[in-house]
Structures are given as C-alpha cells and as structure tokens.
Amino acid sequence: MGHSMTPVARNLLIACVVVFGLQYMLGSQVEMRFALWPPTDDPRVPGFMPWQIVSYAFLHGGLTHLLFNMFALYMFGPDIERLLGWKRFLTYYLVCVVGAAAAQLLVLHMLGNPTVPTVGASGGIFGLLLAYGMAFPRRKLMLIFPPIPMPAWLFVTLYGLLELYLGIAGRDSNVAHFAHLGGMVGGLALILYWRSQSRAR
C-alpha cells in the first residue's frame, strides 16, 4: 500500500484541505454555491448548477468527514495512480465523483427533491476502493472496528453491500449511501470500458 504520495493524489488532497479552510473562513456561502443541490423552484435555496457535480467533492461537512476521506485517499490513491498513470487516474477519480453525484441527484429526485446539499469526496473514495479491490484483491486490509484483517476484494464487497443495506433501510439518513454506490458503479463502468478497448486493440 503506497506511503509516498503521487502527484494527482497529493494535489487532490491539498485541494480538499484548502477548500475546507475556505469553508471555515467564509462560512456557508461556499457551500451555498459549490455543494451539490437538487433542482428546485424555491428561491430561498441555490438549486442545481452544472459545476456542482464536481465541486461538491472538494467540500466536507466537518473535520472528521475530511480526515476520513483524506486518509483513504492517502492510503489507496497512490497505488491506483501508479497503476493507471496520472491522466487515467484523474479521469477515473472524476468519473467516480460524477457518478456519485448522478446517483445522489436521482435518489433526491425520487424523494421529491428535498433541498439538502451534498458534500464530500466519498464518491471518489469509494471508486478508489473498488479499483483497489479489483487490482490488488489478495492484499490484506485491516478493519478499525473490530481490527480484523481481510483480503481487499472481500473488504470492498462487504463495504458495498453495507452501503446498499444502509441506503435501502434509510439508516444514517445524513450520509449519502447511494452516492457512495454511484461512485463505485461509475468506476466499474469506466474500468470495464477500458478493458473492452484494450481487447478491441
């Protein structure tokens, strides 16, 4: 597992930290403009704008939220970037972020577009987890609670199933579980596309 940062993973981490600092200094105006909002006719809330499908992933809902996501980016990002190269890594990460945004907007639409913003890099992070589990399936990952080692493929599979259960059951409603799954689905679609292109050549 990579302990030295690669260029794109490092810059993504720095960007998220800098934006979090701006959130702290400027307050809610950053979230009002750059969080992911559902379409709405309510003039009291910002509503959806196209750039939000990427910008939301650089905002976070608190220090703990930021630290967990950046720790995962630090742990898993460099190995995937070395595997894919920086251009494909950046493309992959952004596709996961957009896939997560699309899933979240779809779920909010099904719920009647409640005017709640979505922030966080978790969609991109879940995409990285998927890629890691597919690329290094036998590498051992250690759970924090409880501290149980398991192969990466099993960790990613169980985590995905847990997110699906929590999303369907409506647990932790302040967490965008389907956005996490959308990041994984977007990442999987891109990986399968790249593989089909390689076979065609």
Domain edges within the chain: 7-200
Q: What is the mean pLDDT of residues 101-112?
A: 88
DSSP state, residue 142: E
Q: The domain 7-200 is classified under which CATH number: 3.40.50.1100, 1.20.1540.10, 1.10.3720.10, 3.40.1360.10?
A: 1.20.1540.10
Q: Is it the case that residue 159 has pLDDT exceeding 90?
A: no
pLDDT given at position 178: 79
Give the mean model confidence (pLDDT) for residues 146-156: 82
The answer to whether residue 60 scores a pLDDT higher than 60 is yes
More confident of the two residues 163 and 21: 21
Q: What is the dihedral of CA 122, 126, 128, 129, to 10 degrees?
A: 130
Residue 18's pLDDT is what? 96
Percent of the chain with pLDDT over 90: 53
Cα distance between residue 93 and residue 34, in whole Å: 18
The pLDDT of residue 157 = 84
For residues 145-149, give the mean pLDDT: 72
Tell me, rounded to whole angstroms, the distance of Cα 25 from its chain centroid.
24
CB of 30 closer than 8 Å to CB of 59: yes
